[in-house]
Amino acid sequence: MAALINVPTKARRGEIIEIRTLTSHIMETGFRHTADGALVPRDIITSFTCRYNGTEIFRADLFPAIAANPYLSFFTVAKESGKFEFEWIGDNGYSSSASASITVE
Amino acid sequence: MPTTRRQFLTLAGSVTVAGTIPIVTLRPLEATPAMLNAAIRNVVGEAPVRTGKVKLDIPPLVENGNTVPMTVSVASPMTADDYVKSIHVFNEKNPQPNIGNFHLGPSSGRAQISTRIRLADTQKVVAIARLSDDTFWQVTTEIVVTLAACTEEIN
């Protein structure tokens, strides 16, 4: 699935950087009904993880109260050049991932 | 055949009854303050929750509850021995009291997260931070929502 990742490509060592992620997902709450009264089953992303060179730096448990196309922004300290890996896990076996590189000087 | 007064009243009565049923069946979908407290206790246990340190940035008046931008920040030096472990956000009147749990660490640098949430009604939103010394700090904000999210019909 499509994901938008915003990570600075370059940073000074020790700098605090913001990471912003957006992924496309309906985040169906499981509380909505169709016009004829049938309940629409829940289909949400339940977990988001960000790893920095293999180490987990941020994790979020999501609930139906998170808006469709979940947007998450958080911070980390730029320690070394390398790769950020992002993973979204959800209902019905949903799994999606993305990555971004950073150069730390 | 012209409608008699009796027939009209019977008809009007049954329409009124049918009209009230969906409202009645929707009531249990609201999380009650008791559910909010239970959800908070689930996270903090028996520990006391103090007010302060946490800042919740959210518009006080929301036109569309389907996507409400929210930023939570915690006053913390974010050093190896004094940092924010996690941020938990709850609501009062959505069908479920939880909004999200966000796990940070000393390498976060800054204890701040942003996301977009859904609000089903005018209600309170509570953000609680767990610090590295296992103390809990909270902030509560009241938000007015004019168009609700979550429980509307799909067309």
CA B136 to CA B98: how far, in whole Å? 17
Chain A residues lying within 8 Å of B117, measured CB to CB: 65-67
| A62 close to B (CB below 8 A) | yes
Pairing mode of beta strands A55-62, A45-52: antiparallel
pLDDT in tens, B57-77: 999 999 999 999 999 999 999
- Which chain B residue has its CA at the smallest distance from A32's CA? B151
Strand residues in A44-105 grouped as ranges (E): 45-52, 55-62, 71-77, 82-90, 95-104
CB B134 within 8 A of CB A82: no
* Residue B21 pLDDT: 45
Domains, chain A, in order of start with CATH, read: 3-32+42-104 (2.60.40.10)
CB A69 within 8 A of CB A25: yes
pLDDT in tens, A11-38: 999 999 999 999 999 999 999 888 888 9
pLDDT in tens, B95-138: 999 999 999 999 999 999 999 999 998 999 999 999 999 999 99
Domain for residue B39, yes or no?
Answer: yes
| Better-predicted residue by pLDDT, B13 or A1 | B13
Domain for residue B18, yes or no?
Answer: no
Chain B residues lying within 8 Å of A40, measured CB to CB: 154
How many separate domains does chain B show?
1
* Total CB pairs under 8 A between chain A and B: 111
With a pLDDT cut of 90, the percent of chain B lying above it is 70
Confidence of residue A67 (pLDDT cuts 50, 70, 90): very high
Residue A59 confidence (pLDDT) above 90: yes
Q: What is the CATH number of the domain that holds B123?
A: 2.60.40.2470
Interface test with A, best of B27, B94, B102 (most A CBs within 10 A): B102
Domain for residue B34, yes or no?
Answer: yes
When pLDDT is averaged across residues A55-80 and rounded to a whole number, the result is 96
CA B143 to CA B61: how far, in whole Å? 6
Which domain does B51 fall in, by range? 30-147
- pTM of the complete model: 0.84
Name all contacts of B15-24 with Cβ < 8 Å and 24+ positions apart. none
- Which chain A residue has its CA at the smallest distance from B104's CA? A58
3-state class (DSSP) for residue B78: coil
Q: Do B117 and A65 make contact, defined as CB atoms within 8 angstroms?
A: yes
Domain for residue B125, yes or no?
Answer: yes
Residue B7 confidence (pLDDT) above 80: no
| Chain B: closest CA distance from residue A95 (Å) | 19
Confidence of residue B30 (pLDDT cuts 50, 70, 90): low
CA A100 to CA A17: how far, in whole Å? 13
| Chain B: closest CA distance from residue A22 (Å) | 10
Residue B24 confidence (pLDDT) above 60: no
Annotate B9-61 with DSSP letters as a single string: HHHHHHHHHHHHHHHHHHGGGSPPHHHHHHHHHHHHTT--EEE-SEEEE--SE
Confidence of residue B10 (pLDDT cuts 50, 70, 90): confident
* Residue B154 pLDDT: 64
Confidence of residue B5 (pLDDT cuts 50, 70, 90): confident
* Residue B23 pLDDT: 43
